[in-house]
């Protein structure tokens, strides 16, 4: 395990507060299995809130946006994954430094000097705007600044994730990545553009399994996420609005016995989205996440 955590009786050791840190350590926490090991990796790329001092000068995004655009407490939702036998990897650094669920080439020309003018991504490798449409940066980054973020955060995170996956596959002959995320209950961008329209916006499903059109994992793993959600009375919608990001696309190789499923949980299940505080049923969602890890482990270690 690397990094430091703030204890909480509800959230557990993996919960952290928004911190402006003066020095750069490991950009992730890794929690190894404490129960009988399974070929399961839970990776949490967007729960981190840390912003090292060197990254603050060009940042315009307000603290509210940094918190709202994080997958708050998702690392805590899966805190029991190691006890269930999984390895848990959680990025500690805010996605406003760099988004580890994007490819190195996902660079908006308006974000980095010398970037390609034909690529326009508000939420690429480095975010240009917040989800509420505010400017995230006061200026474009230099190529040196981008390379620094890649070297300090993005590449170490993916080296660690790739090594964990390869170790699991070598040990078990298979590896299954649960890419753990959460999402706003409604599309906040549509909320802004629809203020003058009558009628409520349609809420997102409770659970969205993202598998790039069922290409990143075997059917039994994809179907297991849906069945596990529906058994809890939750709604499911595959790949909508999130079909799976860079991690799912890069590591999901069923033909090579590496399976990846992005699991998006609607924040209304566990979070007061206005106050940004866990709801009283937080521990029930934690139990669902632990049971999901166990179920995926059963499937991974059973005969085809």
What tens digit of pLDDT does each residue of 260-300 get?
Answer: 999 999 999 999 999 999 999 999 999 999 999 999 999 99
Whole-number percent of the chain with pLDDT over 90: 81
Residue 223 lies in a domain: yes
CATH of the domain at 165: 3.40.630.40
Contacts of 288 (CB under 8 A, 6+ apart): 228, 232
Give the Cα separation of 304 and 298 in Å (integer).
11
CB of 257 closer than 8 Å to CB of 142: no
Is the link from the previous residue into 241 a cis peptide, with omega within 30 of 0?
yes
Residue 46 lies in a domain: yes
Residue 208 lies in a domain: yes
Give the Cα separation of 145 and 140 in Å (integer).
10
Is residue 176 predicted with pLDDT exceeding 50? yes
Residue 3 pLDDT level (bands cut at 50, 70, 90): very low
| Residue 243 domain boundaries | 19-193+201-299
Residue 284 lies in a domain: yes
Q: 12 versus 138: which is more confidently predicted?
A: 138
Residue 66 lies in a domain: yes
Residue 6 lies in a domain: no
As a whole number of angstroms, the longest Cα–Cα distance in the chain is: 57
Which is nearest to 292 in space by CA: 207, 215, 214, 197? Answer: 207
What is the count of structural domains for the chain? Answer: 1
What per-residue confidence (pLDDT) applies to 142?
96
Q: What is the dihedral of CA 271, 273, 275, 276, to 10 degrees?
A: 60
What per-residue confidence (pLDDT) applies to 156?
96
Total-model pTM: 0.90
Residue 7 lies in a domain: no
């Amino acid at each position: 395990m690397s990094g430091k955590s703030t204890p909480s009786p509800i959230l557990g050791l993996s919960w952290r507060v928004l911190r402006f840190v003066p020095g750069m350590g490991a950009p992730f926490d890794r929690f190894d299995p404490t129960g009988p090991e399974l070929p399961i990796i839970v990776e949490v790329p967007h729960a981190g809130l840390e912003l090292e001092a060197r990254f603050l000068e060009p940042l315009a995004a307000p603290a509210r946006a940094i918190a709202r655009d994080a997958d708050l407490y998702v690392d805590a939702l899966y805190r029991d994954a190691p006890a269930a036998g999984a390895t848990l990897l959680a990025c500690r650094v805010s996605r406003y430094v760099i988004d580890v669920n994007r490819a190195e080439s996902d660079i908006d020309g308006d974000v980095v000097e010398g970037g390609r003018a034909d690529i326009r991504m508000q939420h690429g490798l480095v975010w240009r705007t917040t989800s509420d449409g505010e400017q995230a940066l006061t200026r474009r980054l230099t190529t040196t600044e981008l390379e620094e973020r890649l070297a300090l955060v993005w590449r170490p995170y993916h080296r660690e994730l790739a090594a964990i996956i390869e170790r699991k596959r070598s040990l078990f002959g298979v590896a299954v990545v649960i890419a753990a995320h959460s999402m706003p209950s409604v599309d906040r961008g549509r909320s802004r553009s629809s203020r003058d329209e009558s009628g409520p916006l349609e809420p997102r499903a409770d659970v969205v399994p993202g598998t790039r059109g069922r290409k990143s994992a075997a059917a039994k793993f994809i179907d297991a996420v849906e069945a596990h959600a529906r058994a809890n009375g939750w709604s499911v919608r595959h790949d909508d609005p999130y079909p799976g990001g860079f991690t799912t696309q890069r590591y999901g190789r069923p033909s090579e016995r590496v399976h990846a499923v992005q699991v998006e949980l609607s924040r209304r299940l566990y979070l007061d989205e206005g106050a940004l505080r866990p709801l009283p049923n937080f521990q029930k969602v934690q139990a669902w996440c632990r049971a999901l890890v166990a179920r995926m482990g059963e499937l991974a270690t059973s005969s085809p």
